[in-house]
Amino acid sequence: MSALSPVLDRLDKHLDASLGRLFALLSIPSISTDPAYAAECRKAAEWLVGDLKTIGFDASVRDTPGHPMVVAHHPGPRPDSPHVLFYGHYDVQPVDPVELWETAPFQPVVKEIEPGRKVITGRGSSDDKGQLMLFVEACRAFKAEHGQLPCRVTILFEGEEESGSPSLKPFLDANREELKADVALVCDTDMFDRQTPSICASLRGMVGEEITIKAASRDLHSGMYGGPAANPIRVLSKILADVHDEDGKVTVPGFYDGVEETPSQILKAWETLGTNAENFLGPVGLSHPAGEKGRSVLEMTWARPTAEFNGISGGYTGKGFKTVIAAEASAKVSFRLVHKQDPDKIREAFRQFVRDRLPEDCSVEFHPHGGSPAIQLSYDSPFLAKAKNALSQEWPKPAVTVGSGGSIPVVGDFQTYLGMESLLVGFALADDRIHSPNEKYDLNSFHKGQRSWARILDALSR
């Protein structure tokens, strides 16, 4: 702790200065989805480059067909020091509807939202400018106290994460040798709660598919044709109903190929988090788990694959009533994948599942809507163990290893293009209102998050 202690002390003493730097970045409206803000996105990238240079990074703005990347490098104490790649994004979501903001979205302030709880307000305060600046401040403190960083550090800040990252894959492919490191650090995640830090070890993948069942050449009068005419809505409904059995398992052949059971010690650790059907489903007006029987809600959302129906259309859906047999009916279906499930095989298996259930006079069309594999970090990864121990020394409760029901595509891109595992460590909270009016970031997250990254850097350097 001898080398770390003065770094932590410095972060405590210079919190106000770090807030000032964050506020300067938050005041730049770097909205990537709106072409009108292209100059502001470049301004944010240039601001970050300038700030990183003051710490001693070799930093530059890298042009892409879209908004620029920021790439920065800093040597470690030795040429063979461990090497980390830190990723964040400086672009933000639009602020509409602006009239719902209690404070100006690009004029950040610190305010108290309840006794003893202060937050930083403003678009990007949580997603992701506040998060990425934590790491920068940890690096700044190390340089100020020791004249060097504890390990080699490469930084990649993206400017298009909120608009689909169209430039990211080509950029990673073209610069793979420059960007490759021992491990990637991704900050765009949450804590489990305000007292409990977390490391996300798994991200579910996804397959999106739209199916359209067609029968007659036009909509038919249900009195004149009802009975003998094939009804696409009825056909579609039966196919969708067949996707799950009575225990909630998916019946598509081969669907569970590559699915592994979660280690028992991880399941036991999740049990200690206190999440159950009542407190998980209650806030959204539900009470009974509807997925696989015998699985907890956390296991279902973090570690099990699913098939869900996201939209159904067909026939007359306007006001009143119209007695027709629709000529076609459609459904949007999404599969969340885990472990080693193959998105291409899942898509084809589902398509064959549908074809096998088509009656005569019916045809089907398929429209893909993206697909990506799941990400699974080894639960016994030395990177994970070091980071988990470092976080546990900083926060009131020990760090937990969690999963995510959603996807963070950049993690898969790092694995595909750079051959790197990622550590997902963030300090956002569930109530940060990201993408919504009145986005905020807890001041405690901003302060202890800096200290946490300092501890993680120190741990990974050894």
pLDDT value for 231: 97
Contact 429, 442 (CB under 8 A): yes
Contact 66, 33 (CB under 8 A): no
**Sign of the CA dihedral with 111 first, then 114, 116, and 119 last:** negative
Q: Report the distance separating Cα 456 and Cα 185, nearest Å.
A: 10
> Which residues lie below 8 Å from residue 404, measured CB to CB, with a gap of 6+?
189, 200, 202, 203, 204, 302, 424
pLDDT value for 424: 95
At 148-206, the pLDDT tens digits run: 999 999 999 999 999 989 999 999 999 999 999 999 999 989 999 999 999 998 899 99
Token pair recorded at residue 298? 């956390």
pLDDT value for 75: 98
Angstrom CA distances, 35 to 29, 94, 183, 291, 295, stand at: 12, 11, 34, 42, 46
Output the furthest CA–CA distance in the chain (Å, rounded).
86
pLDDT value for 141: 98
Where the chain has pLDDT below 70, the residues are 1
pLDDT value for 405: 85
**Burial classification of residue 27, based on how many CB atoms lie within 10 Å of its CB (0-12 exposed, 13-18 middle, 19 or more buried):** middle
Q: Please tell me the pTM assigned to this model.
A: 0.86
Domains with residue ranges and CATH for the chain: 5-203+374-460 (3.40.630.10), 205-259+305-370 (3.30.70.360)
pLDDT value for 210: 97
Token pair recorded at residue 62? 């890298």
Q: Report the distance separating Cα 87 and Cα 153, nearest Å.
A: 11
pLDDT value for 378: 83
At 319-366, the pLDDT tens digits run: 999 999 999 999 999 999 999 999 999 999 999 999 999 999 999 999
Q: Report the distance separating Cα 276 and Cα 309, nearest Å.
A: 24
Please report where in the chains the tokens 């003493």 appear, as a residue. 13
pLDDT value for 379: 85
Of the candidates 32, 26, 334, the residue with the CA atom closest to the CA atom of residue 165: 32
pLDDT value for 376: 85
